[in-house]
Amino acid sequence: MTNTPDIIWTPAASTEDGARNARELFTRIFGGEAEGVWRAPGRVNIIGEHVDYNGGPCLPIALPHAAYVAVRPRPDRRVRLVSPQTVDAVDELDLDTVGPVGSAGAVKGWAAYLIGVAWALEQAGYGPLAGFDIALWSCVPLGAGLSSSAALECSTAVALDDLAGLGLAGSVDAPNKEGRGILVAASRRAENEIAGANTGGLDQSASMHCTRGHALVLDSRDMSVRQTPFDIAASGCELLVIDTRAPHQLVDGQYGQRRADCEAAATLLGVDLLVDVEDYEAAMATLAGEGAESGEAEEAERARLQARTRHVLSEIARTKAFIEILESAPLLSEEKLQVLGGLMNDSHDSLRDDYEVTVPELDVAVDVARARGAYGARMTGGGFGGSVIALVKIGQGEEIAQAVTAAFADHGFAQPHVFVATPADGAGRVE
Ligand code: ADP
Ligand code: MG
């Protein structure tokens, strides 16, 4: 046994602190005052993983962890960007030369997520926009599966919307749902085409549409959303988030391969998206190639597509069941909590065995949380590192965090970071 280190808690900065940090950075680097500060949260997806690009349902909540941007428009088309990590080399770009990945105007690094939103808004007809100076401060952990990238895009989107007077976002208290859908699309295009990460729309929808105290029911088939109350504290529960800090490896390539597998399976099944499969057993038989002659390589390929499809279709069913139970009564009985936990457990096992996107750190954190009495635990986000969520009794989170910290030390893993998640506000203006 190694000596167990203390738990590292990483709670969110308060809105006031986050806004002040962005504002102070702005003034220090650019001089004068920013015109305003906007924030957009990271998220955890409670269930419905790797189904957004298959047209299925997801159930995210916004985190209190958010990106804050202090912004001032410019009289020209220049964009200057700074974050606490880049104060020595402020990025300078021009809205007239920005272009997609692979083009002459390709943007390197984190600036792509921000300026990409301006580019996408202009592509959608909301231009020309003024240039701007922007200072970013964020407490969403980077690359932890908690959507730090969408927080960057969505904070920039609501800022540009406000400064250009487009009126797409509305306010946090009176959101313009349709307008926010347009900002989601622009943020997603920024991520896909300018940053070059081919992700589905879950992250941006969560950051833009989530509301305090609620989970978001997102139908990825048509990107429609609705709010559902998420007050697990009333039922004696809390949601522990464990950022495993496992190094991301081959993330983009693996993610792309999963998407390609799903597309290949959908083609074999004659559907547009896997969500459209109506007969599960028949689909499995088709993918298994029953009755068809095939070589070893082809059989392995079919087995893989079958496993990927099994994950997607079973995850869609689990997510629907989870939402139904969540909405069945304001207070969740012990029995219902156990069913919800079981669905989370099955989700993780499916992501581990059929979708093959977990890593040892994720599996160990999940195993320890379950062994210590969590109702359920699963990885959240794209996988290959990132975070685990555990549904636990109030107060039990600390004991589980300690046990996971100890287990990670024993395994020689990096020390995990932990916090308890409560559903926070979506993107909007702070001051
Ligand atoms: P996730 O969204 O799960 O955190 P991604 O790989 O999608 O992981 O996004 C992480 C990327 O977002 C980082 O590599 C960086 O380019 C950018 N990013 C996120 N937060 C910040 C920040 N505070 N400062 C600069 N860049 C950031
Ligand atoms: Mg991301």
Task: Work out whether strand 417-421 and strand 8-9 pair parallel, antiparallel, or are unpaired.
Answer: parallel
Tell me if 116 CB under 6 Å of ligand 1. Answer: no
pLDDT of residue 247: 79
Q: What is the DSSP string of 86-115?
A: GTTS-EEEETTT---TTSTT---TTHHHHH
> Which of 149, 250, 384, 389 has most ligand 1 atoms within 8 Å of its beta carbon, as the pocket-test mutant?
149
Q: Which of 184, 163, 171 shows the shortest CA–CA distance to 211?
A: 171
For the entire predicted model, the pTM comes to 0.96
pLDDT of residue 252: 64
Tell me if 83 CB under 6 Å of ligand 1. Answer: yes
Tell me if 85 CB under 6 Å of ligand 1. Answer: yes
Catalytic site includes residue 88: no
Tell me if 147 CB under 6 Å of ligand 1. Answer: yes
Report which protein residue has its CA nearest ligand 1's atom 7: 149
* Cα of 364 from ligand 2 centre, angstroms: 23
Mean pLDDT for the stretch of residues 389-404: 97
* Cα of 150 from ligand 2 centre, angstroms: 6
Catalytic residue among 52, 203, 346, 354: 203
Q: How far is CA 322 from CA 85, 147, 267, 352, 392, in A?
A: 40, 22, 29, 20, 16
Give the ligand whose atoms come closest to the C-alpha of residue 110.
1
Q: Which atom of ligand 1 is nearest to the CA of 381?
A: 3
Q: What is the DSSP string of 393-411?
A: ETTHHHHHHHHHHHHHHHH
Tens digits of per-residue pLDDT, 200-223? 999 999 999 999 999 999 999 999
Report which protein residue has its CA nearest ligand 1's atom 2: 147
> Which of 114, 142, 198 has most ligand 1 atoms within 8 Å of its beta carbon, as the pocket-test mutant?
142
Tokens of 130: 């003024």
pLDDT of residue 295: 86
Q: Which of 409, 357, 412 shows the shortest CA–CA distance to 387?
A: 357
Tens digits of per-residue pLDDT, 141-181? 999 999 999 999 999 999 999 999 999 999 999 999 999 99
Q: How far is CA 114 from CA 98, 132, 203, 223, in A?
A: 11, 11, 15, 22
The model's confidence at residue 185, banded by pLDDT at 50, 70 and 90, is: very high
Tell me if 371 CB under 6 Å of ligand 1. Answer: no
Tell me if 199 CB under 6 Å of ligand 1. Answer: no
Tell me if 196 CB under 6 Å of ligand 1. Answer: no
Tens digits of per-residue pLDDT, 223-255? 999 999 999 999 999 999 999 999 776 556 888
* Cα of 119 from ligand 1 centre, angstroms: 19
- In angstroms, the CA 370 to CA 372 distance is 5
